[in-house]
Structure 1
Amino acid sequence: MRLDKFLKISRIIKRRTVAKEVADQGRVQINGQVAKSSSTVKVEDEIKITFGNRMMVIKVKQLQESTKKEDAAKMYELIGEEIIEK
């Protein structure tokens, strides 16, 4: 599954266009490698996302083509979240 689609379906980022912009700006890493919006996401991948002054690390648990709001959180596990001091 494409990275931008995963971020939208899992509701980590609300819109796919925003997910695409974030990824293409180099603010997303998959398993330590900078990822583009078209990068492929697989189960057990570790994704690190930087939002302004916050960094979020998640592990992909499952991939679904569509999901309900209450099931979206089952697609990933939050490993860590931290505030980045500037």
Structure 2
Amino acid sequence: MNQLYNKTLGLYFKNASLYKKLSDLIFIIAIGISLYTLISTYIVRSNLPPGVCPIESKTELYYLSIGLLVLAIFISFFDKKKNK
């Protein structure tokens, strides 16, 4: 199992273009920020009284994650497709 993982990961780093690697990295960071924001909003919301909006305190993180996801998609358009 470990050899298969190392072989697959090695092929990814060998064959993937710089744009693909950058797009994947930005996508992973954006998903991490999105998960953090979602979980922290859920936790804060459970402690607030009804009618209070917990999203107002984290708008920057929401905009950052959306912007990073759009950037990852935009960068992926520059990746040249290889013909096999």
TM bucket, shorter chain: under 0.3
Q: Which one has more relative contact order, counting CA pairs under 8 Å at least 6 apart?
A: 2
Bigger strand share: 1
Larger radius of gyration: 2
Bigger helix share: 2
User: Taking structure 1 as the reference length, what is the TM-score of the superposition?
Assistant: 0.24
